[in-house]
Amino acid sequence: MKGTSCTVSKADMRTLEKKIGVRMRTNVIVAIAAVAALMIGAFMLYASAELFSEMNPDPYNHSYEYTVTGMYGEEELIGKASYETISENGSFHNYRFLVKSGTANGIEIERSFTIIFDENDVPLFYDRVGSDPTGSSSTYIQKTDGYVYKITVSDLCVVNSFSVENEEWVMNGTIII
């Protein structure tokens, strides 16, 4: 085997290991305590931030349930829908609808779609088709991939009602307050 080697007596080695070993352990314990202190500092800061955020909740962070009715050909559809958000970006608000309904004959329809609102609470990629007389809500429509989505939106990106339809079925949802 190539390379160099040296010989140290076992007694010398033990003494050396003992001396160095004690210092090592002390240093490691101090370092671990220091890391623990840093972690605690981060948790305390997080707790403070959470406390403040609970005092000032995000008004856009809301979720709603909907009753759903509709038609599948000649059959009646009944179901429910949920509308919720996960805050991703300060400039946009993304909300996802999950619509589930079924017929008396056991046909199940499930459809999910996302609505992206911009900073002015206007749904992107939807066309505005009108608003109610008081101006408190507006109606938007989107046609894509054989589906037609129609939503009525009021303040803070709350969808009061919606409809989704394709060639086979149509589903209408109304918010449960």
Would you say 31 and 39 are in contact if contact means Cβ atoms under 8 Å apart? no
Give rounded-to-5 percent helix, strand, coil for the chain: 30, 45, 30
User: In this structure, what DSSP letter does residue 136 have?
Assistant: S
> In the bound complex, what is the minimum distance in angstroms from residue 169's beta carbon to another protein?
20
Q: Return the closest-CA partner of residue 102 out of 146, 74, 68.
A: 68
Least distance in angstroms from the C-beta of 171 to another protein: 19
What are the residues binding another protein (CB under 8 A)?
Answer: 2, 23-25, 27-28, 30-32, 34-39, 41-43, 45-46, 48-49, 52-53, 55-56, 84-92, 94-96, 112, 114, 116, 124-125, 142, 144-145
Cα three-residue angle 22-28-29, rounded to 5 degrees: 90
Residues 70, 53: contact at Cβ < 8 Å?
no
Least separation in angstroms between residue 34's CB and another protein is 5
CB 127 to another protein: min, Å? 11
